[in-house]
Amino acid sequence: METRKIQKIGVFTSGGDAPGMNAAIRAVVRACIHYDIKPVGIYRGYDGLIAGDIEELSSRSVSNIIQRGGTILKSARSMEFKTPEGRKTAFENIQKFGIDALVAIGGDGTFRGAQIFSAEYNIPVVGIPGTIDNDLNGTDFTIGYDTAVNTAASAIDKIRDTASSHNRLFFIEVMGRHSGQIALRSSIAAGAEATLIPEIPMNVEELVNLLEHGAGRKKSSSLVVVAEGGKPGHSIDLAREVNERFNHYDTKVTILGHLLRGGSPTVADRVLASRMGVVAVESLLNNKSGVMIGIVNNQVNFTPFDHATTNVDNFDSEMLRIAGILSV
């Protein structure tokens, strides 16, 4: 890609929202100002780029947002951007507004779109991983993951109170799409008896045996954390099947769902987002493009979009081993 002088950077959030996105937006805007670059905000992700819903941002525009969940730039999943006609309109708006480079904050769908767009129109783009699922290669943690895990653990703590009071078996379903990372980490943090994740499936027979072992030791209640596994609500069918074979407790199901996407970001997510936002701007100024910013072992890491989004291999099997030991 040819070297060009960058004078204006557009930033947008795309796909599912994640706590800490506002902190990343703030960091991008203020880093731009620091380096005498004009920052512009693109509203509603790729849809806003196609519609020309773009405006210049200032330091004041991002004041008092670092602690807020959601995204001030709004977010969307754009079907139109998947078409050549949609991307052509988006490029025409980039030219119209004089945008020289883009910072895309989102997950795998966001980065796939960025990769295609950058290749077609020679637009420098870097990505910041903003997704609660923590399902991208090239970074230890994605923005929003730590907050989601804390929210899940807090909810599970509260559910345990009522489970213990009534001798109940609770199935608690958490988000994460095809990743079990939220389920696994929050399960360990909240002391759940079992964790069901898509990476290493557990059949009903194994789960029933585990629950019967706990009942034999006079446990007053049991909590099973279930990753949605790409099929939200499947914990209801699972609970029904288990209840037919294991009726020691009154069985209940709680689906945490989009609760995990909301709330004020944790300190970890605010710092991670701030660090990545600054690095994103500096990377563009140093002629990097087509890469996702990541932090691995506390060091900045750059991963090409195609590798960041394919054959994700960052599942920590050691955490699953620990969860098994602690569930006895």
The residues facing 40 across adjacent strands are 10, 56
- Domain CATH code at residue 194: 3.40.50.460
Residues 53 and 195 in one domain: no
Average pLDDT over residues 113-127: 97
Average pLDDT over residues 65-77: 96
| CA 211 to the chain's CA centroid | 31
SS3 319: helix
Q: Does residue 94 belong to any structural domain of this protein?
A: yes
133 belongs to the catalytic site: yes
Residues 291 and 210 in one domain: no
Residues 253 and 119 in one domain: no
Q: Does residue 36 belong to any structural domain of this protein?
A: yes
Q: Is the pLDDT of residue 222 over 80?
A: yes
Quick one: what percent of the chain has pLDDT higher than 70?
A: 96
User: Which of 36-45, 107-116, 193-202, 262-271 is predicted with the least confidence, judged by mean pLDDT?
Assistant: 193-202
Q: Does residue 293 belong to any structural domain of this protein?
A: yes
Per the structure, the complete domain to which residue 295 belongs is given by 8-144+265-308
- For the chain, how many structural domains are there in total? 2
Residues 129 and 37 in one domain: yes
| Single residue among 203, 230, 261 that ends a domain in this structure | 261
**What is the rounded average pLDDT for all residues in the chain?**
93
CA atoms within 13 A on the CB side of 272: 30
Residues 134 and 276 in one domain: yes
Residues 30 and 140 in one domain: yes
Q: Does residue 58 belong to any structural domain of this protein?
A: yes
Q: Which residue has the higher pLDDT, 202 or 219?
A: 202
Residues 287 and 245 in one domain: no
Q: Does residue 320 belong to any structural domain of this protein?
A: no
| Single residue among 226, 261, 296 that ends a domain in this structure | 261
With CA atoms as reference, report the closest residue to 123 among 85, 90, 84: 90
Residues 186 and 245 in one domain: yes
Give the separation between CA 295 and CA 245, rounded to whole angstroms. 45
Q: Does residue 28 belong to any structural domain of this protein?
A: yes
Helices marked H in 221-266 = 234-245
pLDDT, residue 166, reads 84
Q: Which of 133, 135, 146, 269 is catalytic?
A: 133
Residues 127 and 257 in one domain: no
Q: Is the pLDDT of residue 164 over 50?
A: yes
- Domain CATH code at residue 296: 3.40.50.450
Residues 85 and 159 in one domain: no
Please classify residue 20 by burial: count the beta carbons closer than 10 Å to its beta carbon, then call 0-12 exposed, 13-18 middle and 19+ buried: buried
Length of the chain: 328
| Single residue among 231, 261, 291 that ends a domain in this structure | 261
Q: Is the pLDDT of residue 234 over 90?
A: no
Q: Does residue 1 belong to any structural domain of this protein?
A: no
- Confidence label for 214 from pLDDT (cuts 50, 70 and 90): confident
What is the DSSP-derived secondary structure letter of residue 253? Answer: E
Residue 75 and residue 41 in contact, taking contact as beta carbons nearer than 8 Å: no
User: Which of 88-102, 110-124, 157-171 is predicted with the least confidence, judged by mean pLDDT?
Assistant: 157-171
pTM confidence score: 0.94
pLDDT, residue 2, reads 46
Residues 239 and 164 in one domain: yes
Residues 149 and 176 in one domain: yes
Q: Does residue 319 belong to any structural domain of this protein?
A: no
